[in-house]
Amino acid sequence: MAEIRAPKPLKAYTVLEHDERTGAIYFARHAIVARKAGAAEYGDGELSYVTCNRAPWADRFADTGAVPAAVMVEHG
């Protein structure tokens, strides 16, 4: 009998554009998914135009999909 696995939980990632340092928090199961979404939004689709880093402090907002501005400011 095949084992049924629960899907991986969503994790928070900060994606920032290199020049202007604009960006957002993306929720994804893998960093590359978040990076591609951020690149499409902020880097004309070019992965090399953005950086993507884990933001474990924002994981708790994955269910709502939105991180309050005050919390983002608190974490830089």
Give the tens place of pLDDT for each residue, 63-75: 998 999 999 899 8
For residue 1, pLDDT beyond 90: no
Distances in Å between the Cα of 68 and the Cα atoms of 3, 8, 24, 57, 61 are 38, 24, 12, 12, 9
What is the per-residue pLDDT across 5-58, written as a single tens digit (0 to 9) for each? 877 889 999 999 998 889 999 999 999 999 999 999 999 999 999 999 999 999
CB 67 within 8 A of CB 11: no
Q: Tokens 């933001």, residue? A: 55
Q: Given its phi and psi angles, is residue 43 left (phi above 0), alpha (psi -120 to 50 degrees) or beta?
A: alpha
For residue 2, pLDDT beyond 70: no
